[in-house]
C-alpha cells in the first residue's frame, strides 16, 4: 500500500494536528509519513496578518506542495483555510471539533490582569470584540506560533493575551486563563481540516472515516457566512454554529475595528439548507448596515 505523505506547518501545534491525523489513518491500516513545510505566515512574524495582504497566508505553501504532488494530503487548522480553496483541491475531512472559543491567558507575573489594561493579539476579530467590552484598554499586535506568542506575553507588560482554547488544550498547556465564551470565535475555530487533490478519488474514500458530519455541517455554515459577508479574512467577523438534534443554532457578527459597532445575527435553523441559512444571515447583517461598515473597515486598513 502506498505511504501517504501528510503535509503540515512546522509549529508544535501543527505537528500535533498532523500526528493526530496520522494516528487515525494508521489505525485504518494506511502507512503514512509527515512532511513539515514552512509557510509565509510563520516566516513573517512582525506584520499583522491583515497587513500582509495575502489570503491563505498559512496554507499557500501546503497548497503548492499538494498541487505539485510533493504531498498527498495537508492538515490545517480550519480557521486558517481560505473559504475558497485553490483550484484542484478539496476538503476531504473535518475532524471532531474541540473547544471553539477564545481564552485570555494571564501574564504569569501579575495576579490581577485588570491592573494592567493592555493585552496582546494579532486578530482583528479578537481585538474588536475585546475593545467592545473593554473600550479603554490598549491592544498590541502579537504574532507567531503558540510558543512564540507565549514567550512574548511573558516578556511583555500586558495583563494577558488572547489565544484559541483548542490550541492550548491540544498541547496540554496548563496556563492561568479566563474563558471568553462571550467572544464570537473565528469561523471553523477548533476544527482540524484535511485537504487533498480533487482528482484523488481513492484517497478521498480513504479519508471519509475521519470526517465528523456534525462538525463539517457547522463549520461549513460558518465559512459560507464568512465568504458571503466578506470573502476573505481581513474584517472582524465571528461565527459559531452548533447542532441540536435536527436544528442548527447559528450566531454571526461583524464588528467595527474599534468595537463600537456590532452587527449581530442569531437564529435557530431547521434542516440542512446551509447555503440558504448563510444567505439569510448575511442579508440580516447587511440590513443593519453591513455593507457600509465593511467599506469603512477596508478604507481604514488600506
Taken in order of first residue, the domains within the chain and their CATH numbers are: 4-97+191-211 (3.40.190.10), 102-180 (3.40.190.10), 226-301 (3.30.160.40)
Report the pLDDT value the prediction gives residue 43, as an integer from 0 to 100.
Answer: 45
C-alpha 269, offset from chain centre: 23
**Quick one: pLDDT at residue 112?**
80
DSSP conformation class of 98:
-
For the residues of 221-242, what is the DSSP string, one character each? Answer: HHHHHHHHHTSSSSS-EEEEEE
Q: Is pLDDT at 234 greater than 60 in this prediction?
A: yes
> Looking at the predicted structure, is the pLDDT value of residue 56 above 70?
no
pTM of the full structure: 0.92
Confidence class for position 178, pLDDT limits 50, 70, 90? very high
Spatial separation of the C-alpha atoms in residues 95 and 188, rounded to whole Å: 11
Given this model, what pLDDT does residue 249 score?
A: 98
Q: According to the model, what pLDDT value does residue 113 have?
A: 79
Nearest C-alpha neighbor of 290 from the set 261, 257, 259, 258: 261
pLDDT value of residue 231: 53
Band of residue 261 on the pLDDT scale cut at 50, 70, 90: very high
Asked whether the beta carbons of 60 and 54 are under 8 A apart, the reply is: yes
Q: Which three cell numbers stand for residue 144?
A: 507567531
pLDDT surpassing 70 at residue 44: no
Residue 74 has pLDDT above 60, yes or no: yes
Beta carbons within 8 Å of 90's beta carbon, 6+ residues apart: 195, 196, 197, 198, 204
Q: Which residues are catalytic?
A: 80
* pLDDT score for 38: 82
Q: What is the pLDDT of residues 107-134, one digit of tens each?
A: 998 878 777 889 999 999 999 999 999 9
Range 219-238 average pLDDT = 88
Indicate the helix (H) or strand (E) that contains 43. helix 40-43
Amino acid at each position: 500500500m502506498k505511504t501517504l505523505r501528510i503535509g503540515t506547518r512546522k509549529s508544535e501545534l501543527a505537528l500535533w494536528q498532523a500526528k493526530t491525523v496520522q494516528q487515525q489513518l494508521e489505525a485504518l491500516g494506511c502507512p503514512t509519513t509527515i512532511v513539515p513545510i514552512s509557510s509565509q505566515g510563520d516566516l513573517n512574524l512582525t506584520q499583522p496578518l491583515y497587513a500582509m495582504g495575502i489570503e491563505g497566508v498559512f496554507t499557500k505553501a501546503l497548497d503548492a506542495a499538494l498541487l505539485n504532488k510533493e504531498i498527498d494530503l495537508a492538515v490545517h487548522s480550519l480557521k486558517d483555510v481560505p473559504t475558497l480553496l485553490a483550484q484542484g483541491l478539496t476538503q476531504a475531512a473535518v475532524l471532531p471539533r474541540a473547544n471553539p472559543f477564545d481564552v485570555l491567558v494571564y501574564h504569569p507575573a501579575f495576579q490581577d490582569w485588570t491592573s494592567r489594561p493592555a493585552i496582546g493579539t494579532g486578530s482583528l476579530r479578537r481585538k474588536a470584540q475585546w475593545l467592545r467590552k473593554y473600550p479603554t484598554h490598549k491592544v498590541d499586535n502579537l504574532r507567531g506560533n503558540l510558543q512564540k506568542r507565549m514567550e512574548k506575553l511573558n516578556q511583555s507588560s500586558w495583563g494577558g493575551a488572547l489565544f484559541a482554547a483548542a490550541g492550548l488544550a491540544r498541547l496540554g498547556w496548563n496556563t492561568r486563563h479566563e474563558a471568553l465564551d462571550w467572544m464570537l470565535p473565528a469561523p471553523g475555530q477548533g476544527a482540524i481540516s484535511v485537504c487533498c487533490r480533487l482528482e484523488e478519488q481513492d484517497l478521498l474514500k480513504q479519508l471519509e472515516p475521519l470526517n465528523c458530519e456534525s462538525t463539517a455541517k457547522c463549520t461549513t455554515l460558518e465559512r459560507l457566512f464568512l465568504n458571503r459577508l466578506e470573502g476573505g479574512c481581513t474584517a472582524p467577523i465571528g461565527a459559531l454554529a452548533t447542532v441540536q438534534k435536527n436544528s442548527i443554532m447559528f450566531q454571526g457578527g461583524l464588528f467595527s475595528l474599534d468595537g463600537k459597532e456590532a452587527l449581530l445575527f442569531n437564529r435557530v435553523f431547521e434542516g440542512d439548507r446551509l447555503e440558504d441559512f448563510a444567505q439569510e444571515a448575511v442579508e440580516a447583517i447587511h440590513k443593519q448596515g453591513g455593507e457600509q461598515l465593511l467599506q469603512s473597515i477596508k478604507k481604514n486598513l488600506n
